[in-house]
Chains A and B, each alone.
Chain A
Amino acid sequence: MTQNKTIIRRNRMKAYAFLAPNFVGFIVFTLIPVVYAFLLSFMEWDSARPAVFVGLSNYFKLFKDTGFRISLLNTLYYTAITVPLTIVFALAFALILNEGLKGIKLFRALHFFPHISSIVAVAVVWQFLYHPDFGPINMVLKQIGIANPPRWTSSVTWAMPAVIFMSVWKSFGYYMIMFIAGLKAIPIQLYEAAKIDGANGWKRFRYVTLPMISPTMFFVVIISIISSFKVFAQVFIMTEGGPGRATSVLVYKIYTDAFKNFKFGYASAEAVILFIFILIVTIIQYRGQEKWVNYMN
């Protein structure tokens, strides 16, 4: 018994020695800020004068704030289109690249590069590509006979699709690689067996591929929804939330409220709402995964 205790104690010492450098930083710069963020959302604070406790008033204000409602709806709109598009493209090209064609490495690299390229540089380029009068995109559209192509970033209707399209272009290669890894793990015998049972291509995809990559699918859905909720840089550089408030998304609103209007408490309340959304998505996913995720082990 005492021996056990000494072992435990010794292990503890060891473990904390290893943890210490990271843990101290984690506590100060991650854990405390997380708690702090929740506390701040009940305060009113302009960064200069002392903070005042205001209870739920920030949250009541949020519900009456049309700007917040607009950015919430914009974020949901962005997510609802971006996530399915990204997943369809990523899965389709993962399947194609999984066919064992030649030059797979090159294709894979080309699709992945946009994901790691600087968002600032890429957003600037797209801003020019989208230019209503001189941009290559509209030039081409006019060439093929569309007299009045969309005015993209200066149209309320088309600004968000423009941002969405660029985001899908930038990120689907990343998810594609995850899917490829998932596809590689599927035992070939399963396909053989399905073939013998006379399942055609679609059926094989429906009854073998999809169930077998469901863990990857689950992961990709969560990650892409969460990152859609956090969209910021594209909007900040390409449209600044405009025209009007057509592309104002949650994080853009949080950023301007915090670092332009200096309403730190209010912006924290907005951030807490963002967090709750992300939490709900994750919980629904985890609840639902028992139903449709197939873990081999």
Chain B
Amino acid sequence: MKKLLSLLLVITLLLSLAGCGKNSEGGQASSSTKKDQQEDITIRFALWDYENSGLQPLIERYEAENEGIKIDVLDISAKEYGDKLAIMLAGGETIDTFFCKTISDLGGYVTKEQIDPLDTYIEADKIDTVPYGATMDTVNIDDKIYGLPYRKDFWLLFYNKNMFDKHGIDYPTKDMTWDDYREVAKQLTSGEGPTKEYGTYIHTWASVYFLQGLQKNMGDLVSGDYVMLKDGLELLKGIQLEDKSAQDYATNKSMGSHYAGMMEKGNVGMLYMGTWQMSQFAKMKSQGISDEQYNWSVAPMPTWTKDEAEATIGGVSPMLLSTTSKHKEETWEFIKFVSGEEGAKHLADLLIMPAFINEAVMDRFVQNEYFPEDGKIALETEHIFMEWPSDKLSPLLSKMVDEEIQLVVTGNKSIDDAIADMESRRDEIIEQNK
């Protein structure tokens, strides 16, 4: 018995140690063994949704071109990305570089001193920041630059030409107003039950419901007056619950509907969504989904008045350099490659909007075989509002706004009450987090 017990103890310890050894690969485990040979440097790179990001060939190319550098990709699911990454950074994980999913998280990384400013690197390498355009402002905190913008996404109106043709309705143009949008959605809706065709699909994210408010240019959601949200909420509620030309929020939420899937079925006329959707549609097309099934194109976002400049919302995903990185120079080289012209061209081939844009990159984008000919006007959108500013209160306020919007669109609260509650809850959050 005694022997058996000690044997068991040894086995369990071995088992758990073996598990641990496996987990810390790349870090310390491999570094002490081959001192005499030329060692590989491993750069740990965290991102979301690796499979759909299309980055794999780019990374393989980088490894091939740079002898002795290995890129260790840390793939985190999109929905949990912000939370998980924060926990890993707090837990002292070795991460050399990572994408910042929403600019509102950036301030947090800076105050917690988890990322390094890049000014010295940018000056040393004489990086030309002109192609990054206005996206450089979003990574600028207290006159220091934190991160190189990698992707730039803004929202557009996707539409299925087949449904418009079927009903003999003109395609959306840049003059479309929100009232037109509602009207067109009504006209495109037909049928009942499982075969019903919907004029539009309205996704469950809060940003889908507050972007009309931001278009009014009355300030951002941290400091602006929440009255700006009223018209947009009324419009979307009307489309879902009165006109029934879109599946309602509650159904989408409890079914966990996916916007791309809804569009792909071919029974939805319009969908407003970020530019990332283009690469998804391109991918489906390349997998052989026929034009008969659905035939997409893009137009600029609808606006409140005809003569308003095109305005939409958007976001920037920069690539950041972790404070704890042990190979900062090598990591910087990698960041430069992914977020620079080479990475941008690669993204353009995938129909993903890069932050780095010059003539060459743009040409590659619109000449892509899957890019719809008449979609060019959509890319000329000038005025892009940030969903959330880089503010330490953004994450807290965003959850609050999301909760209140949820109550409105599930019919549990009137719009005016919700707006009043948002105001008082914002005051409380500011008060509580002084």
Whether A64 pairs with B250 at a CB distance below 8 angstroms is no
Q: Please report the C-alpha to C-alpha distance between residue A265 and residue B431 in the assembled complex, in whole angstroms.
A: 17
A174 at the A/B interface (Cβ < 8 Å)?
no
Q: Interface residues of B, CB < 8 Å — how many? A: 30
B407 at the A/B interface (Cβ < 8 Å)?
yes
Whether B404 pairs with A244 at a CB distance below 8 angstroms is yes
B112 at the A/B interface (Cβ < 8 Å)?
yes
B86 at the A/B interface (Cβ < 8 Å)?
yes
Q: From residue A67, how far is it (CB to closest CB) to chain B in Å?
A: 8
Give the number of A-B contacts (CB < 8 Å): 71
Q: Please report the C-alpha to C-alpha distance between residue A101 and residue B388 in the assembled complex, in whole angstroms.
A: 64
- For A253-270 the 0/1 string (1 means CB < 8 A from B) is 000100111100000000
Q: From residue A88, how far is it (CB to closest CB) to chain B in Å?
A: 30
Say whether, besides A64-B431, A65-B432, A261-B395, A48 and B406 are in contact (CB < 8 Å). no
Whether A66 pairs with B254 at a CB distance below 8 angstroms is no
From B412, B413, B425, residue with most partner A Cβ within 10 Å: B412
Specify the main secondary structure of chain B where it touches its partner: helix
Q: Interface residues of A, CB < 8 Å — how many? A: 30
From B83, B113, B250, B396, residue with most partner A Cβ within 10 Å: B250
Q: Please report the C-alpha to C-alpha distance between residue A246 and residue B249 in the assembled complex, in whole angstroms.
A: 17
Whether B254 pairs with A153 at a CB distance below 8 angstroms is yes
Whether A243 pairs with B406 at a CB distance below 8 angstroms is yes
Residues of A near B251 (CB, < 8 A) are: 132-133
Specify the main secondary structure of chain A where it touches its partner: loop
Q: From residue B388, how far is it (CB to closest CB) to chain A in Å?
A: 15
Interface residues of B in 52-106 (CB under 8 A from A): 83, 86-87, 89-90
21 contacts between A and B (CB under 8 A): A47-B90, A47-B112, A48-B89, A48-B112, A65-B428, A66-B425, A131-B254, A132-B250, A133-B251, A134-B255, A151-B410, A244-B403, A244-B404, A244-B412, A244-B413, A245-B403, A246-B412, A259-B87, A260-B83, A262-B90, A262-B108
Interface residues in chain A, defined as those with a beta carbon under 8 Å from any beta carbon in chain B: 46-49, 61, 64-66, 127, 130-134, 151, 153-156, 241-246, 256, 259-262
13 further contact pairs, Cβ within 8 A, besides A48-B112, A244-B406 = A46-B111, A46-B112, A48-B89, A154-B253, A156-B410, A242-B403, A243-B407, A244-B404, A244-B407, A246-B412, A259-B87, A260-B83, A260-B86
